[in-house]
Amino acid sequence: MLIWIFGLLDVFALFTLVVTHYGWIVSPILILLAFLYLAVKGFIFFGELLSMLDLLVAFYFILFVFGIQFNLLFYFGVILLLYKIIMSFTL
């Protein structure tokens, strides 16, 4: 059950990543919430590789605040979050 909650929150982070990258919705509240979710989860489960990669995606959300966008980090974040969503809902 907890894995499904993390999966739903990853869907929220993926949604925020995509709509912010393409400029459809630029909401500081969405960016802050997605950053906090990924950063807190990354620090709680710090020894895991995927959680440390969550910190990288959280750092990318901070770059959004300053208007900096990197396509490589965007695609990396999308692939990472999609992988985690698929794995959380198939277990």
Structural domain boundaries enclosing 67: 2-88
Lookup result for tokens 């919430």: 33
**pLDDT digits 0-9 by tens, 51-88:** 899 999 999 999 988 888 889 999 999 999 999 999 99
User: Can you list the positions of beta strands (E) in 1-91?
Assistant: none
Separation in Å, CA 24 to CA 16, 19, 87: 10, 5, 28
How many angstroms separate the CA atoms of 78 and 15, rounded? 9
Write the pLDDT tens digit of every residue in 7-64. Answer: 999 999 999 999 999 988 878 899 999 999 999 999 999 888 988 999 999 999 999 8
- One-character DSSP codes across 60-71: HHHHHHTT---H
Each as own residue / partner, the long-range contacts of residues 54-60 (CB below 8 Å, 24 or more positions apart, any chain) are: 54/80, 57/13, 57/17, 57/81, 58/34, 60/17
Number of domains in the chain: 1
Determine the pLDDT at residue 25.
83
pTM of the model: 0.91
